Amino acid sequence: MKILAPVSIETRRLMPRAWDVLAVLIVFGAVVLLAEASRELLGPLTVKTANAIALDPSHLPHYAFRTALRMLAAMAFSLLFTLTYATWAAKSRRAEMLLVPLLDILQSVPILGFISVTVVFFLSLAPGRVLGAEIAAVFAIFTSQAWNMAFSFYQSLRTVPAELTEAGKTFGLSGWTRFWRIEAPFGMPQLVWNMMMSMSGGWFFVTLSEAISVGPTTVSLPGIGSYIATAIAAKDLAAIAWAILAMLVVIIIFDQLLFRPLVAWADRFRIDSEPGDEEPESWALTMYRRSRVFDALTHPFSRLMHWSWTLKAPAGRPHVASETERRSRTGDIIWYGLVTLIGAWVTWRLVRFVGVSFRWPDLLDAGLRGMATMLRVMVLIALASVIWTPIGVYVGLRPKLTRVIQPVAQFLAAFPANLVFPVAVVLIVHWNLNPDIWLSPLMVLGTQWYILFNVIAGASALPRELKDAAANFQVKGWLWWKTVALPAVMPYYVTGAITASGGSWNAAIVAEVVSWGNKSLHAYGLGAYIADATTAGDFKRIVIGVCTMCIFVVVVNRLFWRPLYWYAERKFRLA
Amino acid sequence: MDTNVLLDVANVRRSFRRPGGDQLLVLDGVNLTLKEGEIVGLLGRSGSGKSTLLRLIAGLARPQGGTLSYLGTPIDGPARGIAMVFQSFALFPWLTVLENVQLGLEALGLPEKEIRTRAIEAIDLIGLDGYESAYPRELSGGMRQRVGFARALVVHPNILLMDEPFSALDVLTAENLRTDLIELWQQKKLPIKSILLVTHNIEEAVQMCDRALIFSSNPGRVTTEIRIDLAHPRDRADPKFEDCVDRIYVEMTSRRIERQRNLQPVGFIPDAPIHRSSTSALAGLIEALNAPPYHGKADLPDIASDLQLEVDELFPMTEAMQMLHLGEMEGGDVRLTPLGRHFAESENQTRKEIFQRTLIASVPFAAHIRKVLDERSSHTAPRRRFIDELEDKFTDDAADETLRAITSWGRYAELFSYDAESETFSLENPT
């Protein structure tokens, strides 16, 4: 199972279409709208939703539990979103045109910059203040998880073998039944894999969304994230160590009790498995399967689903919406009319925002800082590649070592790197280092592992016969790296590097401004720009920063990563 | 020592450590020599360790005992002068045909000009001219294997090792490539001194080799050597050719029968691992044997080619037939027992009853599973319960294979049912 590259890389077209432009407009419009709403609300709403966080480690299990609950809630919403949004995009030709480019832009929005905007918004919406903050946190995690999952599921739905669909139609299965019995199971292995990856990414955001200050509004929810924030403010290294330990335990529990069982379970839906492939195993799944309690819990649900499959679509209503859709012209007119209206309205709002808030120096500042951050991301990804590619190849060619290292790499990718930032800050302060340079490694601290474990996966996928052939013909040294190892891991490496680079942009927002007690370190960059705007509660600059970063990510993806990705896929993909 | 001996393998032993810690002996006491100017075939079932032996000779792995020497020096790594052709070609998909062929020469550090001339020479020899700049994925299977040959020949090896080089190709393409190769060999155009060919295709061995070495499994060792003194080009319809094929079949089956006779089960644990063979394939074979032109008795090579079965597929089935008393082996022939004929002439339900009776009577372990299920009040038992018993005696893999075989037969016979998800045996039919 591989990591999916972002939408803008998987689509083959280089030049943006009108739909891409519309997607940009809609997303930016939404950011502006939220920001404006939040700004209006912020005035009367100077509140502190700060629960006192106790640094005594005995409270950590409770905090960890709360953090885990938020993750689960967000995952549930992401799943719901995936099943509806992706299905809609895959089934309707019209919706697809807009929904897929929209996903592309959404994937590129720096969620951390966006959290501040949504927190205030949700705080004002929810009746109870704490609930509002909870919703905002869950929403932030949701935005970090949902897009990848939706895109993976959309791709699966698009590649359901025609014969399976046709078999379903021959048996007269309704669209609903076909979805649950054919399409959803087909997409399940990839979806489960992406859920796992999304969850990995999610830990980073949950810890950050629990403790947020936007201007005068301070939010701190009981959780590991706010525990860390409190520990940083109190300069308590021991508490940070405890929090790291708690996080470790939580991630391991999720892995063992949720994801391993899910992966093992979803394996049965794979139709491309080869006999030689190792079947994923999970002791927890075996336990669930044998336990009667679990059976009793799922039984009513499974009965309900089976019952729903017996329902026939009302007579006269066609099974396949997209077929009739193709024929109807009125539908087209309504759809395009609606899209044009939305586009026009959003453009008008954007123009108004720009007219009121647009200041050249701000924009120029954001652009220059974006360049600085881009330089950092590129240099660090290059450095990480130089370090981890040879190591990954070395590990991947040794199955025993791979079995040990691969889970560790996956775990490190899941571990929220921001938890160890304080350690780095202490060092930088102690040695009096230049923050412009030495804060940069923090950006790839959590994301470099994607490169490592993708390269490991690539090297271990190298067929034994190719390794044997190379050995038999005495290919060694640099010739071996040049003709065997590097080409073999190339497609895997590129996908890993894209994921790492995207994650690093996001991480810039927390990595370019860090603090320890009352000491604060700043680097020059777009991340610091957004972080500072958030602290100041300056919504205009937040919007400018978020949109600029989004554009940087999209443009870098399209102009740099996409050609590289397709070159690697074409030339180096094995069979 | 003979001066024209290229390769000498003496008393080689190789085992693998199973995850459980026990050793699986793959090769034991293997001896063979390869002389200049001959093609030697290594015949045996897959899993018998032929390919492992080839990897040892190529220096890709080390033996645990015995010696391998090439031109009198011990092999302790990939040796210059031994080149290999792989079953699934093992071409580098990101290199063109020319680059693939040049790879071995580049590794030798030859001057660029020589690399180029020699590569083009090899490409021309093997009939690939015009494809130099193509990528492997643009070529058909047959052409890809030609690249595999060119890549091996270009380094001018003394020994060419071939690991089932034609088995991934369709019948016509394989035949075409084989005849081309033999022709080049006969005309002495190949820059090699000797060929060692691993195969499980008996006719292929007879067509190409000067000697065929028969390899037994568990553990693998050379049991018999058969000389094939036919003039090239060899004609498959020639009675002498057929005679040769028959001899090899007899050789390969008689050893198996002997082994099985020696192994009468004591207690319910089988004495040797049971190989899986699907019940529907088994039923198909029995039906074919019962029908004309065989009328219950057939020559193994005949029925194998008739049903397009490889030795690998045929032997587990004839073994199962013998074990279940549905058929018997005689020399190179297989004959249905009265029970087998009855089975062939019955309807599906009756077949299942016959199968159930003979399964209980002849495979004590199947009866054992049923007995345990009958005795338990829940009428269910976990797989662990039985696999543990088998693992006491066999390696983990063999135990697994044996239990799978018995499970599949038991399911067909409706002796018990098995739920793969919860890994439990039960008496109920799944709802």
Domain for residue A296, yes or no?
A: no
Task: List the Cα angle B327/B244/B180 in 5-degree steps.
Answer: 120
Chain B residues within 8 A of A465 when measuring between CB atoms: 86-90
Residue B332 has pLDDT above 80, yes or no: no
Q: Rounded CA gap, A27 and A353, in Å?
A: 14
Residues B60, A474: C-beta atoms closer than 8 Å: no
Give pLDDT, residue B257: 54
Residue of chain A whose alpha carbon sits nearest to that of B155: A473
Residue A59 lies in a domain: yes
User: For residue A525, is it within any domain?
Assistant: yes
The reply to whether A248 falls in a domain is no
Alpha-carbon torsion, ordered A533, A539, A543, A548, to 10 deg: -20
Lowest mean pLDDT among A80-84, A287-291, A453-457, A464-468: A287-291
Chain B residues within an 8 Å CB radius of A466: 90, 92
**Is residue A80, in this structure, part of any structural domain at all?**
yes
Q: Is A363 found in the same domain as A216?
A: no
> Considering only alpha carbons, which residue of chain A is nearest residue B102?
A473
C-alpha span between A110 and A496 (Å, rounded): 19
The Cα A116–Cα A436 span in angstroms is 24
pLDDT of residue A275: 44
Element at B230 (helix H, strand E): none
Degrees, nearest 5: CA angle A242-A243-A248: 100
pLDDT of residue A406: 81
ipTM over 0.90: no
Quick one: which H or E segment has residue B260? helix B239-262
Q: Where are the domains of chain B?
A: 5-250, 279-426
Query: Cβ separation of B107 and A465 shorter than 8 Å?
Result: no
- Give residue-wise pLDDT tens across range B268-324: 778 778 888 888 889 999 999 998 888 888 888 888 888 888 777 888 888 889 888
* Inter-chain CB proximity A472 and B155 less than 8 Å: no
Calpha distance A183→A296 (Å, rounded): 26
B259 — pLDDT class (breaks 50, 70, 90): low
Distance CA B362, CA B51 (A): 34
A513 has which bridge partners? A522
Q: What are the C-alpha distances in Å from B32 to residues A434, B7, B57, B223, B421? A: 69, 8, 11, 11, 47
Q: Which of A318-327, B145-154, B206-215, B289-298 has the lowest mean pLDDT?
A: A318-327
Task: Give the closest of A468, A476, A479 to B60, CB-based.
Answer: A468
Residues A234 and A363 in one domain: no
Q: Looking at chain A, which residue has its C-alpha nearest residue B61?
A: A468
> Lowest mean pLDDT: which of A494-498, B215-219, B258-262, B376-380?
B258-262
A562 with A430, same domain?
A: yes
CA B204/CA B199 separation, integer angstroms: 8
* pLDDT over threshold 90, residue B34: yes
Place of tokens 């790492």: A500
**Highest-confidence range of A121-125, A534-538, B354-358, by mean pLDDT?**
B354-358
Each residue of B81-123: pLDDT tens digit? 999 999 989 999 999 999 999 999 999 889 999 999 999 999 9
Q: Which of A210-214, A470-474, B239-243, B366-370 has the lowest mean pLDDT?
A: A210-214
Which residues of chain A have a CB within 8 Å of the CB of B104?
A: 473-475
- Cβ-nearest to B92 among A466, A468, A474: A466
Average pLDDT rounded to a whole number, residues A129-150: 85
Distance between A277 CA and the closest CA of chain B, angstroms: 15
Domain boundary among A216, A239, A262: A239
Per-residue pLDDT of B309-326, as tens digits, reads 877 788 888 888 988 889
Give the separation between CA B204 and CA B41, rounded to whole angstroms. Answer: 9
Please list the alpha-helical segments (H only) found in B20-75: 50-57
By the 10 Å C-beta count (0-12 exposed, 13-18 middle, 19+ buried), A286 is classed as middle
Whether B260 has a pLDDT exceeding 70, the answer reads: no
One DSSP character per residue, B69-113 reads: EETTEE--SPPTTEEEE-TT----TTS-HHHHHHHHHHHTT--HH
Q: Which two tokens stand for residue B5?
A: 């001996």
Q: What is the pLDDT of residue A21?
A: 81
- Of the residues B94, B110, B144, B145, the best mutation for testing chain A's interface (the one with the most A CB atoms within 10 Å of its CB) is B94
Min Cα separation A195/chain B (Å): 23
> Which residue has better confidence, A104 or A489?
A489
Q: Which CATH class is domain B279-426?
A: mainly alpha
User: What pLDDT is stored for residue B3 in this prediction?
Assistant: 61
B82/A474 Cβ within 8 A? no
Q: Which of A286, A472, A479 has the CB atom closest to B83's CB atom?
A: A472
Helix (H, G, I), strand (E, B) or coil at A15: coil
Alpha carbon of B91: minimum distance to chain A alpha carbons (Å):
7
Set of chain B residues whose Cβ sits within 8 Å of the Cβ of A574 = 93
In this predicted structure, which of A129-133, A170-174, A486-490, B105-109 has the lowest mean pLDDT?
A: A129-133
Q: Is the pLDDT of residue A219 over 80?
A: no
pLDDT value at position B94? Answer: 92
Contact residues on chain A for B155, CB-CB shorter than 8 A: 473
Last residue of a domain, one of A205, A239, A273: A239
Q: Which residue, A211, A239, A267, sits at the end of a domain?
A: A239
What's the pLDDT at A316? Answer: 47
Question: Measured between alpha carbons, how far is A478 from A486 in angstroms, rounded to an integer?
Answer: 10
For residue A268, the distance in angstroms to the closest alpha carbon of chain B comes to 10
Within 10 A of B350 (CB to CB), how many other CB atoms are there?
12
Question: Whole domain around residue A94: which residue ranges?
Answer: 11-239
Q: What is the largest CA-CA distance in chain B?
A: 81
CATH number at residue A94: 1.10.3720.10
Q: For residues A487 and A481, what is the distance between their CA atoms, to the nearest angstrom? A: 8
Is B107 in contact with A471 (Cβ distance < 8 A)? no
Among the partner-chain residues B59, B82, B107, the one whose CB lies closest to the CB of A479 is B107
Q: Are residues A365 and A513 in the same domain?
A: yes
Instruction: Show the 3-state SS of A114-155.
Output: HHHHHHHHHHHHCCCHHHHHHHHHHHHHHHHHHHHHHHHHHH
Provide the CB-side half-sphere exposure for A207 (13 A, CA): 30
A472 belongs to a structural domain: yes
List CB contacts (< 8 A) between B60 and chain A. Answer: 468, 471-472
Cβ atoms of A405 and A392 closer than 8 Å: no
Q: Which residue has the higher pLDDT, A327 or B431?
A: A327
In eight-state DSSP terms, residue A211 is: E
A160 assigned to some structural domain: yes
Best mutation target, A279, A473, A479, A573, to test chain B (most B CBs within 10 A): A473
Query: What is the average per-residue pLDDT within B370-396?
Result: 86
CA gyration radius for chain B?
25
Chain A residues in contact with chain B using a Cβ-Cβ cutoff of 8 Å: 286, 289-290, 463, 465-466, 468-469, 471-476, 479, 483-484, 487, 571-575
Instruction: Point out the residue among A475, A479, A575 whose CB comes nearest to the CB of B93.
Output: A575
Name the residue facing B107 among A476, A572, A574 (closest C-beta): A476
Q: Give CA–CA dist A575/B337, Å, rounded.
A: 48
Query: Using CB atoms, which residue from B80, B88, B91 is nearest to A474?
Result: B80
Q: What percentage of chain B's residues is helix, strand, coil (to nearest 5)?
A: 45, 20, 35
Q: Which amino acid is at A343?
A: G
Tokens describing residue A317: 């209503």
CB-nearest to A475 from B84, B88, B107 is B107
Count structural domains, chain A.
2
Residue A42, token pair as written in the block = 């912020």
Are A463 and B90 a contacting pair at CB < 8 A? Answer: yes
CA distance B200 to B197: 10
CB atoms A572 and B155 under 8 Å: no
How crowded is residue A461: how many other Cβ atoms within 10 Å of its Cβ? 14
B93 vs A469: CB contact, 8 Å cut-off? no
Q: What is the DSSP letter of A297?
A: H
Contacts for B355-358: CB closer than 8 Å, 24+ residues apart: B355/B279, B355/B324, B355/B409, B355/B412, B355/B413, B356/B413, B356/B414, B356/B415, B358/B324, B358/B325, B358/B326
Tell me which residues of chain B have a C-beta less than 8 Å from any C-beta of chain A. Answer: 55, 58-60, 78, 80, 82-84, 86-95, 99, 103-104, 106-108, 137, 151, 155, 421-423
Minimum-distance CB partner of A290 among B92, B99, B422: B422
Would the CB atoms of A468 and B93 count as touching at under 8 Å? no
In the predicted model, what is the mean pLDDT of chain B? 86
Tell whether A5 is covered by a domain.
no
Task: Name the residue of chain B whose CA is nearest to A486's CA.
Answer: B94
Strands B380-382 and B424-426: antiparallel
What pLDDT, on the 0 to 100 scale, is given for residue B1? 47
Q: How far is CA B28 from CA B15, B49, B215, in A?
A: 8, 10, 11
Tell me how long chain A is.
575
Question: Residue A23 burial (CB < 10 Å; 0-12/13-18/19+)?
Answer: buried
Contact B107 A487 (CB under 8 A): no
Query: Which residues in chain B are contacts of A572 at CB distance < 8 A?
Result: 93-94
| CB-based contact A472 B78, cutoff 8 Å | yes
CA angle B35, B39, B40 (to 5 degrees): 85
On the CB side of B391, how many CA atoms lie within 13 Å of its CA? Answer: 15
* Residues present in chain B in total: 431
Determine whether the interchain pair A469/B86 forms a contact, defined as Cβ–Cβ distance below 8 Å: yes
- Tell me how close the Cα of B84 comes to any Cα of chain A, in angstroms: 7
Residue in A closest to B161 by C-alpha = A472
Widest CA span in chain A: 76
Lowest-confidence pick of A109-113, A148-152, A558-562, B176-180: A109-113
pLDDT of A426 above 70? yes
Distance CA B286, CA B315 (A): 14
Name B341's Cβ contacts closer than 8 Å, sequence gap at least 6.
B290, B296
User: Is A43 a residue whose pLDDT tops 60?
Assistant: no
What span, in angstroms and rounded, lies between the C-alpha atoms of B179 and A211? Answer: 76
Over residues A357-383, mean pLDDT: 89
- If phi > 0 it is left, if psi is from -120 to 50 it is alpha, else beta; for residue B292 that is beta
Identify which of B88, B106, B108 has the shortest CB distance to residue A465: B88
Domain B5-250 fold is Rossmann fold (3.40.50)
Distance CA A168, CA A166 (A): 5
Please tell me the predicted confidence (pLDDT) of residue B212: 92
Q: Across-strand partners of B327? A: B336
- Is the distance from CB of A453 to CB of A406 less than 8 angstroms? yes
- 8 Å CB contact of B104 and A474: yes
Give the C-alpha separation, A109 to A115, whole Å: 11
pLDDT band at A276 (very low <50, low <70, confident <90, very high): very low
**Which residues of chain A make contact with B91, given a CB cutoff of 8 A?**
469
Distance between CA B181 and CA B198 in Å, rounded?
15
* A287: closest chain B residue by CA: B422
* Strand B73-74 with B23-35, pairing: unpaired
Mean pLDDT of all residues in chain A? 83
Estimate the crossing angle of helix A237-254 against helix A60-81, to 10 degrees: 40
Q: Which residues of B touch A286 (CB under 8 A)?
A: 423
